[in-house]
Structure 1
Amino acid sequence: MPATHSTRMLILGSGPAGLSAAIYGARAGMSPIVVQGIQPGGQLMTTTDVENYPGFKDVIQGPWLMEQMQAQAEHVGAQMMWDTIVDIDLSQRPFRLIGDGGTVYTGDTLVIATGAQAKWLGLDSEEALKGKGVSACATCDGFFYRGKKVVVIGGGNTAVEEALYLTNHSHDVTLIHRKDHFRAEKILQERLFKHRGIKVLWNKRVDKFVGGGDPEGLIGLDLIDTVTGEASHIGTDGGFVAIGHHPATELFRGHLELDADSYLKVETGSTRTSVPGVFACGDVMDKIYRQAVTAAGTGCMAALDAERFLAEADFEAVTA
C-alpha cells in the first residue's frame, strides 16, 4: 500500500516562496509538509552570485541561501519530502495529491509555490555560458555590468523592460529581435525609441553565444539576418535572454483558474486562488517582479492566509 502523509498545510515547491511559507506555517503550529518537486530550492539553485537579497552586505551564493532557508524551515518543524506530484484532487478538503511513486499527500490547506522557468533559446553555447555572461534576469544581474556593453534578446514586454532597466547600469544597450516590429505594449516601445542609450537590431537571430578569456566569459554573439541570411557579429560583455517565462501550472489546469499567460489567478492583495483553502505564491502567480525577495514575501502571505482560513473553518465547525 502506498504511504499517506497528512498535514494542516501542504506546500508544493521549495524555492524562496515555498520555504518562507513553510517557516511561517511551522511557527503557527501547522506542521507543514513541503513536497520539493523536480528542482529543490527553485531557480536560485542555478544562480551563483546573489547581491540583492536583504541582510547580506557581501555577495552570497544562491544554493547556499536556499540551504539556509531549508535548514531554518526544518528547524522550526517543517518536513521536507523528495517527490514530484503527478495528480491532484481539489474537489474537497482535505485536498489529495499523489506523487509519481504513488505516495499520497493530504492537506487541509494547499500552498502552491511551483514557480516559473525562464524561456531560453535552446543553444548549446547559451547553456555553456549561463552565469558567465548569459542571463535571463536583468534585475538580478544587471548590476554586474555597470559601465559595460550589454545586449537583450527578445521583442515583447519583458525584453523592452529589461533593455530600459539596463540603461541604469550601461550606456551601451542593444536590443536584438528576430522580426521587424515589437510585440511589446506601445507605451513601452515609445519609451524605448526615445532612449538614446538603446540601439535596436531588427531581423536578427542569435546563432551562437561566443565565449573567450580566462576564465571564460561571454565576449560576443554571432547573428544571422532572418531576411537575407547574412551572418554578422556583435561584441558584448553581457547577454540577457528575455523571451518570457513558463509558469509551472500545467498540473492545475482544469482545477484552478489561470490567467491568459497560464499564471495562477489570485485575489488582488492576497494569495487566495479560485478554490477556497488553496493559495498561490511566488513566480507561479507573479509575472511582474519575479525576485527572490518578493517570492519570499508572498510565501509569508500564503502561510498567513492559510492560517486565517483554518482558524475560520475551525470556528465554523465548533459553532455549527
Structure 2
Amino acid sequence: MDNLKDLIIIGGGPGGLAAGIYAARADLKTVLIEKGMPGGLAATTEFIENYPGFPEGISGPELAMKMENQAKRFGLEIVYDYVEKLTPQDKCFVIKTGSTEIYARAVIMATGASPQLLGVQGEDELHGRGVSYCATCDGAFFRGKKVAVVGGGDAAVEEALFLTKFAEEVYIIHRRGELRATKIIQQRAKDNAKIKFVWHSTVVKIIGSTMVEGVQLKDVRNGELSNLQVNGVFVYVGTRPSSELVKDLVKTDERGYVLTDENMRTSYPGIFAIGDLRQKALRQVVTAVSDGAIAATAVEKYLEEL
C-alpha cells in the first residue's frame, strides 16, 4: 500500500502540532491534516499570557505559527484539507478527505471543540452580520460601536477586554451575579471604564433585520424582559466537542467528549484523542500540548506492538 502512513493526526491546533513534533522526531511516517489555519481556537485568541516560556505573553496566531514552523523543521508533512470520513479497515484506517484517501496504522484525533451556540432566535440569521464567536477575527469591524459579550468565563472576559480596543462600550452579559473568570482577568475588566456588566441575565433573542440592532434579555431571577441596544454580539458560553468523525467508533461522555486513558488511548485500538476533544478537567494550550506529546509517544509503542 503506497500511501500507508504510520500515523495520521487530524487537527492542527497546539495538541496536534505537538503530537506532530514528537511523531516526526520519532521518525514515524506522519501526516497532519488541518481543515483551516493551524493553531485551532488558540489562533483566534489575541493574547496568551499563561503559556510557559513567554514571560511577556504571546499572541495566539504567533504561538501557532512558531509551533507549525517547529513541526515542519522536524519533517512533519502538513496537508490542508477537510476530513470527511474515518473508517477502520484491515488493522489500519482509511481517512477520506475532500481530495484523496490516506491509509494509516494509527490516528490521533485532535479536532478540538467549536463554540457553543446560544440557540436563540436571530443567532443563525445574523451570524456574520453582527453575531460572532471570535473577537480577534471580527473586533475591528465594531470600531466606535456598542457590543455585547455573552458569558462569564476566561474566554468571555479576555475577549471583552480585547474588544475595548475598538468598541465604544462593551457589555458583559452573565447569567450569574459574579464572573467565573480567574481573579486577575476579572479585575482588569472591572478596572476598564468601557466595560459594563449585566448580571443575572440571559439572551433570549438577537434583534435585527439585516444587521444586529440589539438583544432581548431575560432576568433569571424574576423573568422580566428588557432590550439592550448593541451593534454586535460575541458569544462565549462554552464549547462543544468536534467528535463527529469518531462518535460511533469510540466511547464518549454524554456531551460527546471522547473518553481516553492516561496515554490518550480511546476505546478503539489505534485511535487516540487529545486536547479539547477529550474529557478532561482543564482545556488550555498547555494541556493540549501535553496530551499531544503523550499520544505520539503512545502511538510509537502501539505500532511497535502490532
Shift, 1:49, TM fit: 1.8
Partner of 1:9: 7
Is this contact kept in 1: 2:174–2:200, CA < 8 A? no
Of 109, 113, 116, which aligns to 2:110? 113
1:85 is aligned, of 80, 83, 91, to 83
Residues 89, 129 of structure 1: CA spacing in aligned structure 2 closer, same or farther, 3 A cutoff? closer
1:231 counterpart residue number: 226
Name the structure 1 match of 2:277: 284
Distance in structure 1 (CA, Å) of the matches to 2:72 and 2:152: 30
* Superposition deviation, residue 312 in structure 1: 2.2
CA contact (8 A) 2:110 2:274 kept: yes
Distance, in Å, in 2 between the alignment partners of 1:263 and 1:118 is: 14
C-alpha deviation, 1:250, in angstroms: 1.0
1:127 corresponds to: 132
Q: Quote the offset at 1:138 in angstroms.
A: 3.3
| CA contact 2:259–2:279 (8 Å) conserved in 1 | no
Structure 1's unaligned 5+ residue stretches are 175-197, 210-220, 314-320
Distance verdict in 2 for CA 1:11–1:223, change over 3 Å:
same
Structure 1 segment 192-207 matched on structure 2, within 5 A: 200-202=199-201, 205=204, 207=206
Aligned length: 268
Determine the structure 1 residue equivalent to 2:97: 99
**8 Å CA contact 1:90, 1:255 repeated in 2:** no
AA of the residue aligned to 2:296: A
Aligned residues: CA RMSD = 3.8
Q: TM-score scaled to structure 1, two decimals?
A: 0.70
Change (3 A) 1:172 1:310: closer
Q: Deviations over 1:172-198 (max 9, x none)?
A: 999xxxxxxxxxxxxxxxxxxxxxxx9
Aligned with residue 18 of structure 1, among 8, 16, 19: 16
Gaps of 5+ in 2: 140-146, 162-169, 191-196, 209-213
How many percent identity over aligned positions? 27
**Residue 51 of structure 2, aligned match among 50, 53, 67:** 53
- SS where residue 49 of structure 1 aligns? coil
Q: 1:141 to 1:270 in 2, by over 3 A?
A: same
Q: Partner of 1:151 in structure 2?
A: 172
TM-score by length of 2: 0.73
**1:53 and 1:293 in contact (8 A); partners too:** yes
Does the 8 Å CA contact 1:257/1:274 hold for their aligned counterparts? yes
Secondary structure of the 2:43 match is: helix
Counterpart residue type for residue 127 of structure 1 = S
Q: For 1:32-53, what per-residue CA distance to the aligned partner results, in whole angstroms no more than 9, with x for missing partners?
A: 1101124533112222222222
